[in-house]
Amino acid sequence: MGAPWSGSTGRTEERVGIVTTASSADHPTRRDFLFVATGAFAAVGGAAALWPFISQMNPDASTIAAGAPIEVDLSPIAEGQDIKVFWRGKPIYISHRTKKQIDEARAVNVASLPDPQADDARVKSGHEQWLVVIGICTHLGCIPIAHEGSYDGFFCPCHGSVYDTSGRIRQGPAPSNLAVPPYTFVSDTKIQIG
């Protein structure tokens, strides 16, 4: 048993040792429970404290909507007419070109252009009457005016760049053609930009 022990009463008692058996080690103690509970509470508290910092990094709904693809109904656009829509904060010109405008754009000697590009490369096959371009001048970012200039295309009033009916630079300081955004025809009368 244990060693004798003499207390203040003068009586001798035997000290009993605590023996840990395999069966008692398998059962969690109160201390184990407190460790687990404290750890879980700290993890939940830490996650709750970090949540506002992480969620503020996500874009808000208006930012997400601004970059989303848009659909444009082409049926109300008369032949020879242009409309302007906005996608990702940029003006997009959609032109319903006439047969004469298409023929003139195709007849241009591509080698004579400052930024050589054939008309067929700027429109979708089977939908040559529709021209879709980003309405930002490639010189300094002004917004050109449709159906202006020497070529009945686009004219930039800031520095005088002139684009034809295919959005190709013909005169002025602009270094390149008006950009064509990514777009697809959903049907014959509807396009999706983006």
Of the candidates 98, 68, 72, the residue with the CA atom closest to the CA atom of residue 85 = 72
Note if 159 is an active site residue: yes
Catalytic residue among 96, 127, 147, 159: 159
| 27 contacts: CB under 8 Å, gap ≥ 6 | none
Q: How far apart are CA 55 and CA 174, in angstroms?
A: 42
Q: Which residues, in sequence order, are CB contacts of 95 under 8 Å at separation 6+? A: 81, 82, 130, 131, 132, 133, 146, 165
Q: Where in the sequence numbering do the catalytic residues fall? A: 159
